[in-house]
Amino acid sequence: MSQIVPLHVALPDVAADFATVLDTSARPRLAVLDGAEDAAVVSELPDAAEWTEDDGSEQVLLLVGGSVTALTARSSEPDELAVECASALQTFVMDERNAAWPVFRGDGRVAEPAVWDGVPQWVAAGRAVAFGRLSSALAG
């Protein structure tokens, strides 16, 4: 059944990394659409039918404020979904701030989300920080 899940429930480590940089009105959440109508989904995403695949396959959307981003990863691929979601949120934050983010303390490098050593992490120039632990590595 299609559903909308708050990001802090679906991907708590990703949500933790963005908790201090997203305005509370952004309310990041994932919409998992599978073609089955759900009143709660339609109320939050009135154009859900436009995003639903014709073959009924799962479609995952990231909802942030009034923005909708289609993700290619599926809910059955948690590491890939976490990385893709973090990347989309990173773009959102950088657009809102008009600045690079996140920047690691010490070397000033902008980290990118990636699966590294089999774990979703923030990576820059050979340095990695696991999702959920980003705040301790940030500059200023």
Q: What is the pLDDT of residues 52-67, one digit of tens each?
A: 877 778 999 999 988 9
Question: Nearest to residue 30, comparing CAs of 8, 1, 52?
Answer: 8
pLDDT tens track for 14-68: 999 999 999 888 999 999 998 777 778 888 887 887 888 777 789 999 999 889 9
Structural domain tally of the chain?
1
Q: For position 27, what pLDDT does the model report? A: 93
For 101-140, the DSSP string reads --BBTTT-PBPEEEEETTEEEEEETTEEEETT-GGGGB--
- Whether 112 has a pLDDT exceeding 90, the answer reads yes
Q: Which residues pair with 110 in a beta bridge?
A: 103
pTM of the model: 0.91
**Could you tell me the residue range of the domain that residue 80 belongs to?**
3-137
* C-alpha span between 48 and 56 (Å, rounded): 13
Q: For position 50, what pLDDT does the model report? A: 83
